[in-house]
Amino acid sequence: MKLQKLLKEKFGYKNFRPNQEEIISAITEGSDVFAAMPTGGGKSICYQLPALVFEGVTIVVSPLVALMKDQVDEAVDNGIEAAFINSSLTSEEASAVYSDLYSGKLKLLYLSPERLALEGYYEKLQNLPISFFAVDEAHCLSEWGHDFRPDYLNLSKIKKYFPDTPVAAFTATATKQVQKDIIRILKLDKPLVVRASFNRPELFYRVERKEKVLLQIEAFIKDHAGQAGIIYRTSRKDVEKTAEYLKSRGIKALPYHAGLPQKTRIKNQDKFNRDKIDIICATIAFGMGINKLNVRFVIHGDLPRSMEGYYQETGRAGRDGVESHCLLLYSGGDMMKIQYHIDRMDDKKEKEKAEANLRRMSSFASVNVCRRKQLLEYFDEKGEDNCGLCDICTDAVERVNAQVDAQKIMSAILRTGELFGAAHIIDIVCGADTEKIRKHNHKELKTWGAGSDMSKSWWRGIIDDLIRQDAIIKDASQYNSLKLKPKGREILFGREAFYIIKKESQAVKASSALEFDAKNFDEDLLSELKAIRAELAGGRGIPPYIVFSDKTLKDMCIIKPLDNSAFLRVSGVGEHKLGLYGPAFIDGIRKYLGY
């Protein structure tokens, strides 16, 4: 009961999310904890709340400088004494933090793993009354994770210096292998192990064939005008190109990749965090540093390299629990590019891993199975057959039997000795009369002109799908000539079916099911409240979402509180924030209602 009271007082929430209470109770009873929870699952409260219950200070190990500042700002805004120490502080700032620390003023201290690796640092910490250690983003410990950081290995010393202090590890990545590594390296002692469901019910997944990628991206953004979104591209060049294009179309977008000067990167990320721009185009270098809650969509302009990466990147949408969209655009060409890199890898084990990842990813995009079910199965969870919130389950796609067309293409490949590339094979099937066709006497083939009723882009699509479904390959070592694989022969000889997924032309419209409660609240009031939030955030030098999340503002639009006790009923309003922000918002709502 005491825990729930603290939850409302400090964080403004009435009820715990799944698993939160169990984790918090275990920590306060002195247990070690391993918790895998999806992004947005509410991990921060799992260590911030026990920190308040204990005497002394809680150490939070967190990998990213940018994220740390945000988390500290957020805690302070909730009235929790928190600070961080990392390389971004001047020595005066750091000594101020140490002096607060030694005088017992702090409840939470965020540290980077590099700090702990400094000679003598653990010994220094031993003089402090440390209640427990929270290790955030704990998958950074594991070489199996997608974001291994050697500095994290140093955390194995925590138990050596603090054998009796609880350690709680948190991660949003939960393959079993990573879990095992974390428990082993941190030497967790009979930990409470919590694996939350990795389902993100607020995310709508959609995959489309990549045709004119920039136009597709633009169309999607126009359908989500004014909303915040991230666009991931594989190469820096494409990041730049996409950002430039969107800017030229009047969309507020900026690039982010490791090739930009650090100052520009920080500036661009900051503008995105503070709602000054809508779109950030980024390589996957962008992400861990993002704490923004109201990202409404994530677009992948290229096929990601692994399901794990895809899950993490799409996971940045909808952290406030509000419905959000994930669009993946991909083509057979993407697969070839990744394959090309894999072919050049030396380490055999790495190569096998990368290949398995690619197969899994392209199957995710091409097979006719609920996207959510596939993602959950990747994390060893069972999904339902119809989630109702992905393109497959909402009938935005239609499954078409394309076996005859596939046979036309593969017959042309086989009859020409598996020596030619896609363009020439398409010319044959379409019945073209090119120099090359004449030279090789390809008009004589039975398949010449067998597909002249369909367009070249149709045939290009069939070839892409054949590649994706592992029926044929493009042989990069032989001028990209197409060759049949065993599965292709099965299809060619009629022993196996071949389906393609045809998109409804306006697939995006299926989103209407998601337009959450749009009618239930007053849009004008919401913009008023957003303006008030922007002003308060600007005044305090913090991003708007730290003041209140969009979800909290929407709740405010529904409740329309006119006094303190009503204001406290709004989800996300705790006592400290009531004091900080209540007057401004209540005043705004009163004015709006004409009092």
Interface residues toward ligand ADP, by CB under 6 A? 13, 15-17, 20, 37, 39-45, 293, 319-320, 549
Q: Tell me how far, at minimum, the Cβ of 219 lies from Zn ion, in Å.
A: 23
Residue number of the CB atom closest to ligand ADP: 42
Can residue 106 be called a binding residue for Zn ion (CB under 5 A)? no
Q: Tell me how far, at minimum, the Cβ of 348 lies from ligand ADP, in Å.
A: 36
x/- binding map, residues 224-263, to Zn ion, per CB under 5 A? ----------------------------------------
Paired strand residues for 133: 59, 167
What number of other Cβ atoms are within 10 A of residue 33's Cβ?
25
Residue 372 binds which one of Zn ion, ligand ADP, none, with CB within 5 to 8 A depending on kind? Answer: Zn ion
Q: Tell me how far, at minimum, the Cβ of 204 lies from Zn ion, in Å.
A: 9
Based on DSSP, count helices (H) and strands (E) in the chain, helices before strands. 26, 17
Q: Please say whether the beta carbons of 40 and 318 come within 8 A.
A: yes
Can you state the percent helix, strand and coil of the chain, rounding each to 5?
50, 15, 35
Q: Tell me how far, at minimum, the Cβ of 429 lies from ligand ADP, in Å.
A: 50
Do β-strands 279-282 and 130-135 pair in parallel, antiparallel, or remain unpaired? unpaired
Burial group, residue 191, by CB count within 10 angstroms (0-12, 13-18, 19+)? buried
d(CA 28, CA 25): 5
What number of other Cβ atoms are within 10 A of residue 192's Cβ?
18
Residue 393 binds which one of Zn ion, ligand ADP, none, with CB within 5 to 8 A depending on kind? Answer: Zn ion
Pick left, alpha or beta for residue 348 (phi over 0 → left; psi -120 to 50 → alpha; otherwise beta).
alpha
Q: Which is nearer to Zn ion, 224 or 371 (CB)?
A: 371
Residue 44 binds which one of Zn ion, ligand ADP, none, with CB within 5 to 8 A depending on kind? Answer: ligand ADP
Q: Which is nearer to Zn ion, 206 or 474 (CB)?
A: 206
d(CA 14, CA 189): 32
Indicate the SS3 state at residue 183.
Answer: helix
Q: Tell me how far, at minimum, the Cβ of 208 lies from Zn ion, in Å.
A: 15
Q: Which is nearer to Zn ion, 247 or 360 (CB)?
A: 360
d(CA 34, CA 474): 45
Nearest residue to 254 via CA among 194, 273, 532? 273
Residue 319 binds which one of Zn ion, ligand ADP, none, with CB within 5 to 8 A depending on kind? Answer: ligand ADP
Q: Tell me how far, at minimum, the Cβ of 393 lies from Zn ion, in Å.
A: 3
Residue 567 binds which one of ligand ADP, Zn ion, none, with CB within 5 to 8 A depending on kind? Answer: none
Interface of this chain with Zn ion, residues 38 to 57, rule: CB under 5 A: none
Within 8 A by CB and 6+ apart from 69, the residues are 84, 88
Q: Which is nearer to ligand ADP, 98 or 516 (CB)?
A: 516
Q: Please say whether the beta carbons of 198 and 314 come within 8 A.
A: no
Q: Please say whether the beta carbons of 22 and 116 come within 8 A.
A: no
For the four alpha carbons of 77, 83, 87 and 93, in that order, the dihedral sign comes to: positive
Q: Which is nearer to Zn ion, 221 or 326 (CB)?
A: 326
Q: Which is nearer to ligand ADP, 41 or 113 (CB)?
A: 41
Structure tokens at 268: 């661009």
Nearest residue to 167 via CA among 326, 328, 31? 31
Q: Which is nearer to ligand ADP, 16 or 198 (CB)?
A: 16
In the block, tokens 């070592």 appear at 477
d(CA 537, CA 544): 5
Number of residues that bind Zn ion (CB under 5 A): 5
Nearest residue to 552 via CA among 524, 581, 579? 581
Residue 28 binds which one of ligand ADP, Zn ion, none, with CB within 5 to 8 A depending on kind? Answer: none
Residue 370 binds which one of Zn ion, ligand ADP, none, with CB within 5 to 8 A depending on kind? Answer: Zn ion
Q: Tell me how far, at minimum, the Cβ of 325 lies from Zn ion, in Å.
A: 14
Q: Tell me how far, at minimum, the Cβ of 464 lies from Zn ion, in Å.
A: 23
What number of other Cβ atoms are within 10 A of residue 527's Cβ?
11
Q: Tell me how far, at minimum, the Cβ of 577 lies from ligand ADP, in Å.
A: 11
Q: Which is nearer to ligand ADP, 16 or 297 (CB)?
A: 16
CA angle 566, 568, 574 (to 5 degrees): 170
In the block, tokens 């005008």 appear at 225
Interface of this chain with Zn ion, residues 567 to 586, rule: CB under 5 A: none
Nearest residue to 510 via CA among 71, 208, 116? 208
Residue 289 binds which one of ligand ADP, Zn ion, none, with CB within 5 to 8 A depending on kind? Answer: none
Q: Tell me how far, at minimum, the Cβ of 2 lies from ligand ADP, in Å.
A: 15
Q: Tell me how far, at minimum, the Cβ of 375 lies from Zn ion, in Å.
A: 10
In the block, tokens 């879990």 appear at 179
Q: Which is nearer to Zn ion, 373 or 554 (CB)?
A: 373
Residue 387 binds which one of ligand ADP, Zn ion, none, with CB within 5 to 8 A depending on kind? Answer: Zn ion
Nearest residue to 204 via CA among 40, 329, 390, 396? 390
Q: In this structure, what are the phi and psi dihedrals at residue 473, rounded to the nearest 5 degrees?
A: -130, 160
Q: Which is nearer to ligand ADP, 504 or 575 (CB)?
A: 575
Q: Which is nearer to ligand ADP, 74 or 528 (CB)?
A: 74
Q: Which is nearer to ligand ADP, 290 or 329 (CB)?
A: 290
Structure tokens at 439: 């030279």
Q: Please say whether the beta carbons of 198 and 39 come within 8 A.
A: no
x/- binding map, residues 362-401, to Zn ion, per CB under 5 A? --------x-x--------------x--x--x--------
Q: Which is nearer to ligand ADP, 173 or 242 (CB)?
A: 173
Q: Please say whether the beta carbons of 230 and 282 come within 8 A.
A: yes
Residue 216 binds which one of Zn ion, ligand ADP, none, with CB within 5 to 8 A depending on kind? Answer: none
Do β-strands 472-475 and 481-484 pair in parallel, antiparallel, or remain unpaired? antiparallel
Indicate the SS3 state at residue 357.
Answer: helix
Q: Tell me how far, at minimum, the Cβ of 14 lies from ligand ADP, in Å.
A: 7
Q: Which is nearer to ligand ADP, 11 or 498 (CB)?
A: 11
Q: Tell me how far, at minimum, the Cβ of 269 lies from ligand ADP, in Å.
A: 17
Q: Tell me how far, at minimum, the Cβ of 341 lies from Zn ion, in Å.
A: 30
| Chain residues in the site for Zn ion (CB under 5 A) | 370, 372, 387, 390, 393
